[in-house]
Amino acid sequence: MSNIKYQQKGVAMSGHLKESLSKLSNYDLLDRYYNSPDTYSEEAMGVMGEIINKRKLSKEDLTSLRIQKISESIEQKYQESEEKKLKGLGGWLIVFGIFFFLGTVSNMIDLFTGYDSMDNFTILISCILAGMHIIILVFFGMEHQLFPIITTIFLIAFGFLSAVGYFMMGSPEVAIVTVAVIIPWVFYLNNSERVKLTFVEK
């Protein structure tokens, strides 16, 4: 009975070994088989030999796979280096931050200096705009992943309402300029690699 259990255990371990070695890449498999044979048991070497034959690999493939691996490693490091350069509050993203900050300051000044001459509705709208500006600036400084989404929604809503308001006041040229300024920034926030690396891919 004990012999049967031992055999079953041995079969299970052998199956686990084969499954584990089957997950190795072609390069890792050949590298271990030909360069580190003393590290593995006879059974493991036999399993690796079977997998190599099944994949139709040979020792000659090891050189080309090593070159490919080195090439991929260099490419990956270059990509990581480029991403590191782009990630962070710089480039056009910092330009957007500066303009948005100036807009926030201007909105706050208008609110405090014109408070006495505003009706309740105008005060409410101005407070909402000021609050949204502050929230967006906080998310910008924190590099929060919600920044692009919230800012995009805010800019589209603000641009639409502003354009409608200027048209109703008989100033279509101001409405056009407002939309023309907002559209490129909306496009930038949703397509920039820097924005993606800074806010989305945390």
pLDDT band per the 50, 70, 90 thresholds, residue 120: confident
pLDDT of residue 11: 41
Q: How many CA atoms lie within 13 A of 179 on its CB side?
A: 12
- Whether 12 shows a pLDDT value over 60: the answer reads no
pLDDT of residue 40: 78
- Whether 160 shows a pLDDT value over 50: the answer reads yes
Q: How far apart are CA 27 and CA 68, in angstroms?
A: 9
- Whether 170 shows a pLDDT value over 70: the answer reads yes
- Whether 111 shows a pLDDT value over 80: the answer reads no
Name the residue with higher pLDDT: 87 or 7. 87
Question: CB atoms < 10 A from the CB of 95, how many?
Answer: 12
pLDDT, tens digit (0-9, with 9 covering 90-100), for 50-104: 888 888 888 777 777 777 777 777 777 767 676 677 788 888 999 999 999 998 8
Q: Where are the alpha helices (DSSP H) in the chain?
A: 2-22, 26-35, 42-54, 60-86, 91-113, 120-142, 147-168, 172-191, 193-195
Name the residue with higher pLDDT: 107 or 135. 135
pLDDT, tens digit (0-9, with 9 covering 90-100), for 28-45: 888 887 777 777 788 888
Evaluate if pTM is beyond 0.95: no
Judged by DSSP in three states, 202 sits in coil
Name residues whose C-beta falls within 8 Å of residue 174's C-beta, 6 or more positions apart in sequence.
Answer: 166
Q: How far apart are CA 16 and CA 89, in angstroms?
A: 49
pLDDT of residue 201: 66
Name the residue with higher pLDDT: 157 or 87. 157
pLDDT of residue 13: 53
- Angle among Cα 60, 46, 55 to the nearest 5 degrees reads 45
Q: How far apart are CA 144 and CA 170, in angstroms?
A: 39
Q: How far apart are CA 8 and CA 100, in angstroms?
A: 70
